[in-house]
Structure 1
């Protein structure tokens, strides 16, 4: 019965359309921040989707729960954005960055995080050093 149930569940999930939040194309700078969050705060494992580590960094049990929260009710995206901003600040603070630190300090903090990225993730397509300036500007707003 369990195998049959899992097969039916997989078939049902495959027919579902992606939530609106998943259809959003994140900017390269935000993808860099998501990767750094997933690695440094979400304990991202090799071969695992960045969303899984990002979800853990934001306090969600799984990526599916995070995505459900992002599309549930009208205030969910605002709450997710707040959790995301808080997590970014927690990640940057030990490196001298943060919301009140200014763009230069945030640029240096992000550069330090990217430079010390574990080898497993250093070649990840989102680990783009060209996006540090844009990411630093975003977190400095």
Structure 2
């Protein structure tokens, strides 16, 4: 089911990293948080519990694969996982590599900044993401 008024039905929602029949992975391109990914379910459903057991397992396997690649490739301080859907009620998981230097750490990326953006660290991290994207695609293709 597709909802034309839904931002995640109408558009990719970021830089496409991997496309499967039931989900896609995008790099969200959030300012100040270059390693911010989303696993977006293809069908327009708002809640994780709306999926059947097999689809829940598939969705979480994709989330875990993205998390594992980010951990292996980037060695972040922490990975944040979130499925909010308050603004866009279309099932999607945020998978965000967090670093002690990021402007909001340890607060949520949606919270208040804790320090100024470290532009050099953001640029250095962003330069590595094409390789990370390729590793995510390989992990999900296996």
TM-score with structure 1 setting the length: 0.31
Which protein shows a greater Rg? 1
Which has more helix, going by share of residues?
1
